[in-house]
């Protein structure tokens, strides 16, 4: 029997990541080969014609799983009945804009979208924020959606997680499929903390494998951590543009694992509202190792943390706290109290 379609709202649908992700969603790569989808595309008025063009190409693919495509510039229409909301669109920095201008401009977008999600989305809505600053944008949207459980708001650190797996595999001379249990802690920014203390490579501890190859703590702190954290800048330098296909891929994996569960015996990294564990105060959305099952997520408990990782995570959380404070000072945090 054919399943009921899932409604997926994608913001910034005419942007680069939007273009890279929509066809893969329609092909079943996010929710599986038996799950029909309805796509709802949100854009700013100036980008509606480009979104129409993308919708024409989606039609031309004749995807069997794609029930409908709707395009709008009205957030309440876009999020009406949304089961999954991918908040990809955000405003880029323009000449003359300082950091405060950028933050307040984007905060206004995510506040409006949070209110629309609260008013119109399906009861089971799950939100994945990609648009930067992703953690704080997710916090803003959640703060304006007090009727949606807080845990339904997440932001993307999966691209950083995948980058960490790839760097570790390369250094270990192992296939990337053998790598598991890396962790990204903190903010999706340069202060993020890539951690391989618990990582496994083909059933062995990553540190043991690295030691055999003559790579110790110095390689971890001087090469691995900065390479992962600054990979976005390296891509821009090489390509002349930011990560697009890899960001779309990471978003698909983030949602797929959230909906279908992380594979047995491992975890992924997601920016989630802190439960207070690992010294991360509740009230920020911070990346952590999570296990997903039955459509929910939980932070992996009781992992040992080195002093170095703890200190770095504290610095990243300080940055998240400062971002939250800046938004609060602008009066852009919403009515959610818990
Ligand atoms: P683009 O500039 O190509 O596309 C953004 C799109 O969002 C545009 O089409 C724009 O019209 C639309 N938009 C702007 N305001 C909107 C609003 N209020 N409602 C709906 N749509 C709106 O950027 P793209 O390369 O697609 O990147 C999108 C976002 O992802 C950026 O904020 C970028 O910084 C962020 N990234 C996040 C990553 C992560 O790992 N979290 C990695 C990749 C990427 O850099």
The overall pTM is greater than 0.95: yes
Q: Could you tell me if 69 and 186 lie in one domain?
A: no
Minimal-distance CA residue to ligand 1 atom 42:
247
76 lies in a domain? yes
Q: Could you tell me if 185 and 151 lie in one domain?
A: no
| Residue 128 contacts residue 152 (beta carbons within 8 Å) | no
Distance 284 CA to ligand 1 centre (A): 22
Dihedral sign from CA coordinates of 51, 87, 91, 80: positive
201 lies in a domain? yes
Q: Given the CA of residue 155, which atom of ligand 1 is nearest to it?
A: 41
Distance 88 CA to ligand 1 centre (A): 5
Give the DSSP letter of residue 221.
I
Residue 210 has pLDDT above 80, yes or no: yes
- The burial class, CB within 10 Å (0-12 / 13-18 / 19+), for 76 is middle
- Distance, CA of 97 to chain centre: 25
Q: Could you tell me if 76 and 187 lie in one domain?
A: no
Q: Could you tell me if 131 and 233 lie in one domain?
A: no
Q: Determine which helix (DSSP H) or strand (DSSP E) holds 269, and give its type and residue range.
A: strand 268-273
Catalytic residues: 188
Nearest to 271 by CA among 139, 156, 164, 175: 156
138 lies in a domain? yes
Give the DSSP letter of residue 46.
G
Residues 48-85: pLDDT tens digits? 999 999 999 999 999 999 999 999 999 999 999 999 99
Distance 36 CA to ligand 1 centre (A): 25
Give the number of residues written for the chain. 338
132 is in an annotated binding site: yes
- What confidence tier does 99 reach under pLDDT thresholds 50, 70, 90? low
Q: Could you tell me if 37 and 48 lie in one domain?
A: yes
Ligand 1 pocket at CB < 6 A = 11-12, 14-18, 42-44, 47, 88-92, 109, 130-132, 134, 156, 159, 188, 242-244, 247
pLDDT at 83: 98
Q: Could you tell me if 42 and 163 lie in one domain?
A: no
Dihedral sign from CA coordinates of 264, 21, 289, 260: negative
Look at residues 155, 177, 192 and tell me which one is the last residue of a structural domain.
155
Q: Could you tell me if 241 and 272 lie in one domain?
A: yes
Distance 44 CA to ligand 1 centre (A): 12
46 lies in a domain? yes
3-class SS of residue 274: coil
333 lies in a domain? no
Nearest to 75 by CA among 114, 106, 129: 114
Q: Could you count the other beta carbons within 10 Å of the beta carbon of residue 104? A: 16
Our mutation pick for probing the ligand 1 site, out of 13, 17, 74, 127, counting the most ligand atoms within 8 A of Cβ, is 17
The DSSP bridge partners found for residue 74 are: none
Output the average pLDDT for the chain.
96
Angle between helices 16-26 and 245-260 (to 10 degrees): 40
104 lies in a domain? yes
Domain of 162 in residue numbering reads as: 157-323
Q: Could you tell me if 59 and 186 lie in one domain?
A: no
Q: Could you tell me if 213 and 301 lie in one domain?
A: yes
> How far are the Cα atoms of 65, 114, 153 from residue 249, in angstroms, in the given order?
19, 24, 19
Nearest to 271 by CA among 257, 260, 284: 284
pLDDT at 213: 97
Angle between helices 99-120 and 134-143 (to 10 degrees): 40
State the total domains in the chain.
2
- What confidence tier does 283 reach under pLDDT thresholds 50, 70, 90? confident
Look at residues 155, 182, 198 and tell me which one is the last residue of a structural domain.
155
- The burial class, CB within 10 Å (0-12 / 13-18 / 19+), for 147 is exposed
Q: What strands, in cross-sheet order, belong to the sheet with 285-293? A: 66-72, 37-42, 6-11, 84-87, 126-129, 153-155, 268-273, 285-293, 296-299
Q: Could you tell me if 119 and 171 lie in one domain?
A: no
Look at residues 96, 120, 155 and tell me which one is the last residue of a structural domain.
155
- What confidence tier does 104 reach under pLDDT thresholds 50, 70, 90? confident
Residues 215-261: pLDDT tens digits? 999 999 999 999 999 999 999 999 999 999 999 999 999 999 999 99
Q: Which two tokens stand for residue 279?
A: 């010294």
Q: Which two tokens stand for residue 235?
A: 């891509």
């Amino acid at each position: 029997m054919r399943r009921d379609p899932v409604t997926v709202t994608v913001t910034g649908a005419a942007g680069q990541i939007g273009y890279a992700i929509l066809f893969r969603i329609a092909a079943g790569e996010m929710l599986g080969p038996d799950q029909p989808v309805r796509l709802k595309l949100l854009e700013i008025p100036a980008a509606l014609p480009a979104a129409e063009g993308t919708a024409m190409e989606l039609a031309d693919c004749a995807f069997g799983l794609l029930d409908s495509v709707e395009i709008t510039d009205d957030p309440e229409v876009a999020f009406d009945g949304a089961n999954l909301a991918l908040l990809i669109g955000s405003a880029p920095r323009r000449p003359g804009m300082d950091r405060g201008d950028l933050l307040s401009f984007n905060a206004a977008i995510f506040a409006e979208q949070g209110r629309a999600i609260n008013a119109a989305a399906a009861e089971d809505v799950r939100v994945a924020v990609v648009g930067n600053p992703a953690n704080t944008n997710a916090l803003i949207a959640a703060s304006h959606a007090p009727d949606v459980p807080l845990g339904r708001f997440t932001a993307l650190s999966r691209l950083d997680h995948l980058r960490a797996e790839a760097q570790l595999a390369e250094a270990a001379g192992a296939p990337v499929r053998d790598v598991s249990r890396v962790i990204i802690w903190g903010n999706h920014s340069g202060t993020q903390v890539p951690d391989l203390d618990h990582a496994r490579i083909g059933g062995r501890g990553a540190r043991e494998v690295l030691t055999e190859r003559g790579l110790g703590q110095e390689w971890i702190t001087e090469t691995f951590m900065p390479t992962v954290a600054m990979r976005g800048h390296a891509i821009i330098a090489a390509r002349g543009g930011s990560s697009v296909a890899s960001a779309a891929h990471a978003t698909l994996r983030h949602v797929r694992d959230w909906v279908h569960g992380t594979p047995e015996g491992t975890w992924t990294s997601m920016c989630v509202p802190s439960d207070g564990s690992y010294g991360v105060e509740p009230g920020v959305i911070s990346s952590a190792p999570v296990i997903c099952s039955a459509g929910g997520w939980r932070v992996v408990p009781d992992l040992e943390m080195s002093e170095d990782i703890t200190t770095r995570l504290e610095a990243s959380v300080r940055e998240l706290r400062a971002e939250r404070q800046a938004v609060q000072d602008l009066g852009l945090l919403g009515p959610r109290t818990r």
